[in-house]
Amino acid sequence: MSTLRYQVLNIYKELLYLGKQYPLGYNYFRTRCYKAFSKSAGLTKEEDIRNAIARAEFVKREIEALYYLKKYREMKKRYG
Amino acid sequence: MSTLRILVPVKRVIDYAVKPRVNKAQTAVEIAGVKHSMNPFDELSVEESVRLREKHTNKTVEDILALSIGPPKAADTLRTAMAMGCDRSIHVEVPEKDDMLEPLQVAKILKEVVEKEKSNLVILGKQSIDDDSSQTGQMLAGLLGWGQACGASEVLLEGDSLKVTREVDGGTEVVKGKLPMIVTTDLRLNEPRYASLPNIMKAKKKKLEKMKLEDFQVRAENRLKTLKVTEPPPRQGGGKVSDVDGLISKLKELGAL
C-alpha cells in the first residue's frame, strides 16, 4: 500500500512540475489538478487506485504532447 | 563499424512563447527577468543523438557530450539536455551581457572542443531562435574541413557513413558522407522528448565541467557592432466597405484601379 502512496505522490509532483508551463497559467492548472486528485482521495481498493494512477499517467502524456504540438506549430509558423 | 562520439552544442535562448521587447536604449532585446529555455532546434539535435544511441547499441554511440556557451544560468539548459539523455556536459561560462558571441567565435570554440574530446559527429540546431544566424554549423564544418549536412529531416547511420535527408526548397535531398561529419537539424527531424522531473533530478548527478572563455584561443571582441534595434511597426488595421461602390472608390483612392 505504501508504494502506491509514493506512486500517487510522484505523479502528482510530476504533473505540478509540468503545470508550471501550462498556457492558461500555473494557478489554473494547479487548482484543477488538485481537485482531480482530491476526488479520488477516498479510493481504497488497490485496483481503483492503480486505475487512477494510470489515468494520471495518461494525462501527463497528453500534456507533454500538448506542449510539443504548441511548440512545433509556432516553429512551423515562423520557419516553415 | 566505428564508434560515435557525438557533440551536441545547445544554446539558452529567450523562450519561444515570450514576445521579445526591445530595451529603452534600443541597443538590444530585453533579457533580464525573461523566461529562457533551450533553443527548440537544439532540442531536436539532443533528441536525435539520443535516438541514434537507442536505435543502435551503446557501443556504437560511445559518448554524447552537450556543450553550452553562455551565462551561469546556461547550466540549467545543460541539465535539461542531460535529462533528455546526454551523458555529460561542458559549460563555457561567459558573463551575461547584451551582445552575445558571434557564430565564428562559437565555431572556433567548438573546434577546439571537438579536437580535445575527439568527437566525430557534431549535431547542431540549424539556427537559434534569437539571432537566427544559421551559420555556426557551416562555419564549424569549414574550420574542421568536415562534410556537412544541414537542415536534416532524417539521419541514418550506415557503417562509418551517414545518410542524411535534407529539407530543401520544394522537396528533399539525400546526401551521404563519411564520418566525421556535421549535421544540423530541421524542424521535422524528430519529436523531442520532455525532460521530466525525475530525469532532471537524475541529471544532477551527471558530470558538468565548467570552462572559461580564456581557456580557448578566441578573442572576446565581436566583429560586428549592433547600431540599433527596433520593433517592427505595428500592423495597421483594415477597413470595412459597405458596398461595391464603396470598394471601387476605396481602390481608386489607393491607386489600385
Residues of A in contact with B191 (CB under 8 A): 68, 72
Q: What is the pLDDT of residues B218-235, one digit of tens each?
A: 877 788 888 888 888 888
Gap between the Cα atoms of B194 and A17, Å rounded:
12
Gap between the Cα atoms of B244 and B130, Å rounded:
45
Say if the Cβ atoms of A75 and B196 lie within 8 Å.
Answer: no
Say if the Cβ atoms of A79 and B198 lie within 8 Å.
Answer: no
Residues of B in contact with A72 (CB under 8 A): 187, 191
Answer whether residue B115 shows pLDDT above 80.
Answer: yes
Gap between the Cα atoms of B129 and B95, Å rounded:
20
Q: Write down the mean pLDDT value for chain B.
A: 90
The residues in B 91-130 lying below 8 A from A, measured between CB atoms, are: 127, 129
**In this complex, is the C-beta atom of B18 within 8 Å of any C-beta atom belonging to chain A?**
no
Gap between the Cα atoms of B90 and B88, Å rounded:
7
Kindly identify which residue of chain B lies nearest to residue A16, measuring between CA atoms: B197
Gap between the Cα atoms of B82 and B49, Å rounded:
12
- Closest to B222 measured CA to CA, from B131, B121, B150, B154: B131
- Model pTM? 0.86
- Closest to B51 measured CA to CA, from B125, B156, B172, B141: B156
Place of cell 494512477: A53
Gap between the Cα atoms of B6 and B77, Å rounded:
18
- pLDDT tier, A26 (very low <50, low <70, confident <90, very high otherwise): very high
Residue A4: half-sphere exposure toward Cβ, Cα within 13 Å: 14
Query: Would you state the pLDDT for residue B98?
Result: 61
Q: What phi and psi values does residue B95 have, to the nearest 5 degrees?
A: -65, 150
Topology (CATH level 3) of domain B4-253? Rossmann fold (3.40.50)
Q: What is the pLDDT of residues B169-227, one digit of tens each?
A: 888 999 999 989 999 999 999 999 999 899 999 999 999 999 988 889 887 778 888 88
| Residue B71: all three cell numbers together | 551565462
Q: Return the domain boundaries, chain B.
A: 4-253
Answer whether residue B60 shows pLDDT above 90.
Answer: no
Q: What phi and psi values does residue A25 have, to the nearest 5 degrees?
A: 105, 150
Say if the Cβ atoms of B191 and A67 lie within 8 Å.
Answer: no
Q: Nearest-CA distance from A62 to chain B in Å?
A: 12
